[in-house]
Amino acid sequence: MFENLTEKLDTVFKKLKGRGILDEETVRAAMKDIRMALLEADVNFRVTKEFIEDVSGRAIGREVLDSITPGQQIVKIVHDRLVELMGKESSHLNLSNRFPAPIMLVGLQGCGKTTTAAKLARHLKDQGRRVSLVSVDVYRPAAINQLKILGEKIGINVYDAQGQSDPVRICIGAVEEGKANGFDTLIIDTAGRLHIDDELMDELKRIKDAVNPSEILFVADAMTGQDAVSVAETFDTLLNIQGVVLTKMDGDARGGAALSLKKVTGKPVKFVGMGEKTDEIEIFHPERMASRILGMGDILTLVEKAQTTIDERAAQELERKIRKDAFTLNDLKKQLTQLRKMGSLQDIIGMVPGLGKIKALKNAAPDDRELVKTTAIIDSMTEKERTNYKIINGQRRKRIARGSGTTVQDVNKVLKNYIEMRKMMKKFAKGGMKSMMRGNLPFK
């Protein structure tokens, strides 16, 4: 996400930071490079033009040119302007006191509405709400079946339309069932088309009139760039949407849609989909997103992810084991499982300030399949081997490799990494944090 834009902006800022004093000509040259970076990221032309004019106006002034660190000052100006561009603050769902409060998801076919409906349902369920789902895509039976399967998987009720073919009647039935069963939220997965047409919009308007939704969210495929922005504008004109959900953000290295939507439509991006799993949805925080774009990481989101996946008692037990130098391969497996729940390794690296800029890590392109392989290797060990790695000799390594469908080299690699990890933890436990902060890392 934003990979190309982040790299280009980083190059511009490095040039600025390398200068003690910035004159007007230098700033204008930098703005030209930033303008090209934004356009290449598929940011709307009008939005880019206004952004550059605003940043230039703030940058070419005594506050910056006479600053002790003018380069850093410009980075701050760009950061603050990006936050403003994307909406300043995160925008929450406006769920009324009606029971159930309907949330209507609209968008073109293939944008990810059905998966988003399940993700949103799971997110709201985790917030303590009682959620029900309904699909009114009567033209594509696969969509109805997909929602049923996803609903079962996450433990969410899915309204059974019992063969009805009128989307409006289905919605009314789902609302009545919601009232009868105490659901406080109803998420409506509507039908899509390959393009906007009168028939689609008439159907959506009739559903809107029938259920009076608390929220109408436009679901957009981030990878379609400015097409997503123009389509959102049309849907807003015809339906008056309250916000946007951007899907497939993990596959969009440009990010132009996220930077353009709020400015063009006037409606905030409320959520972003970061993968295919039902827990891979995030509240859109403009400030955090601006920090990611500028390569500053996103520690707050990382901490929130950790809090939802890490058990406090387990964390205390792990700390005790580290202090006693009793960290086993069983413990390693548990930590890998927790890590996988937090999302892809690439995403996690991008959230830690500075790590995304380290060439060795970027080129390594962490492969989540390695975590699966490591887990399989540990599973092929006996309980004695997991608690005492020193007994794993050559013969045992061959057996473990056969059992896990890997090679002896793979087993050796896992054991080597585990031993290095134990050494590092031992250093931490003996007060090595101060040593590490001085730059004496236990690994190179």
The pLDDT assigned to 63 comes to: 61
Query: Which range among 3-7, 91-95, 128-132, 376-380 shows the weakest confidence by mean pLDDT?
Result: 3-7
Percent of the chain with pLDDT over 70: 78
Does the CA dihedral 417-423-426-427 come out positive or negative? negative
Query: Which range among 95-109, 174-188, 426-440 shows the weakest confidence by mean pLDDT?
Result: 426-440
Q: How many CA atoms lie within 13 A of 388 on its CB side?
A: 4
The pLDDT assigned to 85 comes to: 86
Query: How far is CA 413 from each of CA 115, 331, 370, 408, rounded to the nearest angstrom?
Result: 37, 17, 11, 9
Round to whole Å and give the CA distance between 112 and 250. 13
For 385-414, letters b (16+ CB in 10 Å) and e give: bbeebeebeeeebebbbeebebeeebbebb
The pLDDT assigned to 438 comes to: 41
Q: Is the pLDDT of residue 69 over 80?
A: no
Query: In the chain, what's the furthest Cα-to-Cα distance?
Result: 72
The pLDDT assigned to 359 comes to: 46
Round to whole Å and give the CA distance between 262 and 43. 12
Q: Is the pLDDT of residue 433 over 60?
A: no
Per residue in 239-292, pLDDT (tens digit) is 999 999 988 887 665 677 888 888 888 899 999 888 788 888 888 888 888 887
Q: Residue 66: pLDDT band by 50, 70, 90 thresholds?
A: low
Structure tokens, 28: 């204008």
Q: Is the pLDDT of residue 427 over 70?
A: no
Cα–chain center distance at 392: 40
Domain boundaries, the chain: 3-85, 101-296, 310-437
Round to whole Å and give the CA distance between 386 and 369. 21
Q: Residue 344: pLDDT band by 50, 70, 90 thresholds?
A: low
Q: Is the pLDDT of residue 437 over 50?
A: no
Structure tokens, 52: 């550059």
The pLDDT assigned to 432 comes to: 45
265, 140 Cβ separation under 8 angstroms: no
CB atoms within 10 A of CB 311: 11
What mean pLDDT comes out for the span 356-369? 50
Per residue in 408-424, pLDDT (tens digit) is 999 998 898 888 878 77
Q: Which residue has the higher pLDDT, 8 or 443?
A: 8
Q: Residue 350: pLDDT band by 50, 70, 90 thresholds?
A: low
Q: Which residues contact 97 (CB under 8 A, 6 or more apart)?
A: none
Structure tokens, 262: 């709020």
What mean pLDDT comes out for the span 90-107? 86
The pLDDT assigned to 291 comes to: 80
Q: Residue 123: pLDDT band by 50, 70, 90 thresholds?
A: very high
Q: Is the pLDDT of residue 54 over 50?
A: yes
CATH class of 310-437: mainly alpha
Q: What is the pTM of this model?
A: 0.68
Q: Which residue has the higher pLDDT, 189 or 64?
A: 189
User: For residue 60, what is the DSSP state?
Assistant: S
Superfamily name with CATH number, domain 3-85: SRP54, nucleotide-binding domain (1.20.120.140)
Q: Which residue has the higher pLDDT, 96 or 439?
A: 96
Per residue in 291-303, pLDDT (tens digit) is 878 766 544 555 5
Antiparallel, parallel or unpaired: β 131-135 and 243-247 = unpaired
Cα–chain center distance at 90: 14
Q: Which residue has the higher pLDDT, 16 or 203?
A: 203
What proportions of the chain, in percent to the nearest 5, are helix, strand and coil?
60, 10, 30
CB atoms within 10 A of CB 282: 22
Round to whole Å and give the CA distance between 66 and 70. 7
The pLDDT assigned to 64 comes to: 64
Antiparallel, parallel or unpaired: β 281-283 and 269-273 = antiparallel
167, 191 Cβ separation under 8 angstroms: yes
- Reading across the β-sheet that carries 131-135, which strands appear in turn? 157-158, 131-135, 185-189, 101-106, 215-221, 243-247, 269-273, 281-283
Per residue in 184-221, pLDDT (tens digit) is 999 999 988 878 888 888 999 999 999 999 999 999 88
Round to whole Å and give the CA distance between 45 and 57. 18
Q: What is the 3-state secondary structure (H, E, C) of 146-168?
A: HHHHHHHHHCCEECCCCCCCCHH
The mean pLDDT value of the chain amounts to 80
Sequence-ordered alpha helix ranges (H) in 266-407: 286-293, 299-309, 312-323, 329-341, 345-351, 359-364, 368-379, 383-387, 394-404
Does the CA dihedral 235-273-10-90 come out positive or negative? positive
The pLDDT assigned to 312 comes to: 57
Between the ranges 114-123, 229-238, 414-423, where is the mean pLDDT highest? 114-123
CATH architecture of 101-296: 3-Layer(aba) Sandwich (3.40)
Round to whole Å and give the CA distance between 107 and 192. 6
Q: How many CA atoms lie within 13 A of 327 on its CB side?
A: 25
Round to whole Å and give the CA distance between 79 and 97. 37
Torsion of the alpha carbons at 303, 306, 308 and 312, rounded to the nearest 10: -110
Amino acid at 90: S
The pLDDT assigned to 369 comes to: 74
Query: Which range among 35-39, 224-228, 414-418 shows the weakest confidence by mean pLDDT?
Result: 224-228
User: For residue 438, what is the DSSP state?
Assistant: T
The pLDDT assigned to 440 comes to: 40
Amino acid at 262: K
Q: Residue 112: pLDDT band by 50, 70, 90 thresholds?
A: confident
229, 221 Cβ separation under 8 angstroms: no
